[in-house]
Amino acid sequence: MGFEHLANALTLTNLALALFGVVAGTVIGSIPGLSATMAVAVLVPITFSMAPASALILLGAIYTGAIYGGAYSAILLNTPGTPSAIGTTFDGYPMAKRGDGDLAVAIACYASVFGGMIGALALLLLAPPLSSVALAFGPVEYLWLSIFGLSLIASLSTGNVLKGLAGGALGMLLSCVGVAEISADIRLTFGVSTMIGGIEVVGALIGLYCIPVLIDLVATPERHLKVEQGVRAVRFREAALIAWRSRLNLLRSSVIGTVIGILPGAGGSVAGLVAYSEAKRTARPDQKFGDGEPDGIMATESANNATVGGGFIPTLVLGIPGTPPDAVILGALLVQGVRTGPTLFDGGGSIVYTFIFGLFIATILMLPTGLLIGRYAYKTIVTIPKTILVPAVGFMTIIGTFAIRNSISDVIIMIVLGSVGWVLSRFGFAASPIVLGLILGPIAEQGFVQAWIIGDATGNLTGMFFGRPISLAIIAFTILSLVYPIIQGRRAKRILATQANSND
Amino acid sequence: MIETTAKTGRKDVGTLIIASLFIGLGLITLYDVTTYSDSDSVVFPSFVAYALIFCSVLVIIYSWLKPNPHNGFGSGDWWRRFLLVASMLAACLAMPLSGFLPATAIAFAGGLIAARHEGWDGRSAIIFALSGVFIMAGFYSLFRFALGVPLP
């Protein structure tokens, strides 16, 4: 690593590619149904004729821009543009509804840039040692990681934990529909051929988050978002101040995002939700997560953008893609004849370090472009009449869901799930636990079955599930995340009681 | 005061029905797993089905003892909600026969009518129809030609 790599990254061509990548990624990521994976996959062919370092910079910029772009629709339409932005909807949309959508978009931009920088810094300084973390994770660790993720239901269930747990179980049951991954049994289709493909997660996300909003929007004549009087510029100073005050949250969430990004298969959605849960767990008593708390947006957005750098660590060092877009990028690198592995950092160091500096540049470029695009996205959504917004968003949900697998069945499932989700939400069954179950169900099942088979074959089932150090650490974290809110609640009650007594 | 008391005393019937449906879903799953050939496919859905049934039973008990008076469908026009969902589903059914754009025009028109509360006149109808054509053509072009999605 040296100055020449930075200079290579700063050539006019690479700068232009980084800028184009960030803008294209942000726009594609903001459209519900077009995920970061799709953004990267669609634009991969144009990199084949480029130098490997330039191709990597473009793909990395598209990826990082798309992850951030998902925040726009999450904040302004309550529909995560990418699965990574699920957690952004929890506080982003309430902020937009009360007239602070522009502030939420600016906060998301700062958090994304910060998270992206931390992820890239980890890639630059710690890639080879951190990649060993990915190798240390076996099936049973994934099982416990998914159970840790499911324990977040307790914090994601607004109001009623029991309903949250039932929703989580429903989500896991929905994840079983279709062909079983390990044994190829056809499950829960009840003879309906359109169900054999299973329930596509992104389509389900669009349905569960977007359709209920549309159903509510058409029912009453009220405006979709509150509009403040007077034209305001981007509230970047206010957002910067809020971000600075929550720097610890930003740092913690970025580290969580980087570490989860390293784990193959976990991805930005899991990282964002874990970081959100941690931010909520450590919140001050006056912070109301789920009602438009800026810290919720910051936690999710910094974590999901940190997975970009984190995901590149196993991709480049081990040749194991950390996240789905990394798999596409890995394919593009193989087409170009670049062999990933530890030697890439020695023999081909110029490519990889030029790329890492390029990733830094792309992340920095996300700040002005993100704020600028965010401003116009906010103004467009706020000023557009509801009469045209509803059918336009409805059209986007159909075309976006269809584009994932070119399947009309997916669109029908999306609409039905969305309508059912609306009914459930009216009776206190939130969408987030269902989505969490849907995402983590396959990871948990695969981990469980594989660990069971290995444990059974080695004659040590107990040791397999409870005897590995990383598993034990994750189990401890799971118990802590379940028990800590109860202890915290009791402590808060005790403090209040003490204060009341002293006042008397 | 009387109204509040009545509201608090009301049973949360919607929650009870939903939780009962969840129990039914769990039981159907437990029946379905008996048809699987490999035991590896059975363990996870069975466990989840039991979890769903258990949680739903607890939801029923809790809702029976402590009903939430705020649960319910609330106010709003039902015909608009139905029109929106029905037009989107109709678009999906029409898609294989008519192609993507004519089919989604049904959904767009349905959404447009459902979302318009201010009443219609000739001018607004033309403006919104033209805006719809522009939006649909724009996104169709993006997905069909720029992103290469094989839209029917």
Task: Indicate whether B20 and B44 sit together in one domain.
Answer: yes
Which has more confidence, A151 or A231? A151
Asked if A402's CB is within 8 angstroms of B149's CB, the reply is yes
Asked if B72's CB is within 8 angstroms of A426's CB, the reply is yes
Chain B interface includes A195 (CB < 8 A): no
Chain B interface includes A388 (CB < 8 A): yes
Residue A239 clears pLDDT 60, i.e. is over it: yes
Q: Which domain holds residue B33?
A: 2-65
> How many Cβ contacts (< 8 angstroms) between chains A and B?
203
pLDDT value for A228: 60
Indicate the pLDDT class of residue A306, thresholds 50, 70 and 90. Answer: very high
Task: Indicate whether B32 and B85 sit together in one domain.
Answer: no
CA of B70 vs chain A CAs: smallest distance (Å): 8
Measured distance CA(A88)–CA(A491) in Å, rounded: 29
Task: Indicate whether B89 and B56 sit together in one domain.
Answer: no
Terminal alpha carbon distance of chain B = 59
Any domain includes B142: yes
Contact list, B74 vs chain A (CB under 8 Å) = 426
pLDDT value for B2: 41
Asked if B115's CB is within 8 angstroms of A218's CB, the reply is yes
Mutate to test the interface with A, among B40, B126, B139 (most CBs of A within 10 A): B40
Mutate to test the interface with B, among A194, A218, A220, A434 (most CBs of B within 10 A): A218
Average pLDDT estimate for A117-145: 81
Task: Indicate whether B44 and B86 sit together in one domain.
Answer: no
Taking only residues 211 to 250 of chain A, the set having a beta carbon closer than 8 angstroms to any beta carbon of chain B reads: 211, 214-221
Which has more confidence, A421 or A372? A421
Measured distance CA(B92)–CA(A295) in Å, rounded: 39
Asked if B45's CB is within 8 angstroms of A173's CB, the reply is yes
pLDDT value for A79: 79
pLDDT value for A265: 63
Question: How crowded is the C-beta side of A288, counted as CA atoms within 13 Å?
Answer: 5
Phi, psi of A179 (to 5 degrees): -85, 130
Question: How crowded is the C-beta side of A497, counted as CA atoms within 13 Å?
Answer: 6
Chain B interface includes A36 (CB < 8 A): no
Chain B interface includes A389 (CB < 8 A): yes
Average pLDDT estimate for A255-284: 82
CA neighbor of A115 nearest in space, from A325, A286, A280, A259:
A259
pLDDT, tens only, B94-126: 999 999 999 999 999 999 999 998 888 888 899
Measured distance CA(B40)–CA(A298) in Å, rounded: 40
Task: Indicate whether B133 and B102 sit together in one domain.
Answer: yes
Task: Indicate whether B39 and B83 sit together in one domain.
Answer: no
Q: Which domain holds residue A489?
A: 3-503
Any domain includes B54: yes
Task: Indicate whether B84 and B58 sit together in one domain.
Answer: no
Residue B146 clears pLDDT 60, i.e. is over it: yes
Indicate the pLDDT class of residue B3, thresholds 50, 70 and 90. Answer: very low
SS3 A206: helix
Chain B interface includes A367 (CB < 8 A): no
pLDDT value for B54: 95
pLDDT value for A24: 87
CA of A249 vs chain B CAs: smallest distance (Å): 33
pLDDT value for A36: 77
pLDDT value for A428: 87
How far, rounded to the nearest angstrom, does the alpha carbon of residue A90 sit from its chain's CA centroid?
13
Any domain includes B71: no
Measured distance CA(A494)–CA(A492) in Å, rounded: 5
Count of structural domains, chain A: 1
Any domain includes B70: no
pLDDT value for B87: 96
Contact list, B139 vs chain A (CB under 8 Å) = 395-396, 399
Nearest residue in A to B133, CA atom: A392
Lowest mean pLDDT among A35-44, A270-279, A432-441, B95-104: A35-44
Average pLDDT estimate for B70-77: 84
Residue B4 clears pLDDT 70, i.e. is over it: no
ipTM of the complex: 0.91
DSSP for A414-479 reads: HHHHHHHHHHHHHTT--HHHHHHHHHHHHHHHHHHHHHHHHHHHHT-HHHHHHS-HHHHHHHHHHH
Out of A176, A218, A395, the one facing B139 most closely (by C-beta) is A395
Mutate to test the interface with B, among A163, A413, A461 (most CBs of B within 10 A): A163
Task: Indicate whether B59 and B82 sit together in one domain.
Answer: no
Count of structural domains, chain B: 2
pLDDT, tens only, A78-91: 878 777 888 898 89
Measured distance CA(A14)–CA(A12) in Å, rounded: 6
Task: Indicate whether B57 and B84 sit together in one domain.
Answer: no
CA of A42 vs chain B CAs: smallest distance (Å): 6
Contact list, A451 vs chain B (CB under 8 Å) = none
Mutate to test the interface with B, among A34, A158, A173 (most CBs of B within 10 A): A173
Average pLDDT estimate for A391-419: 90
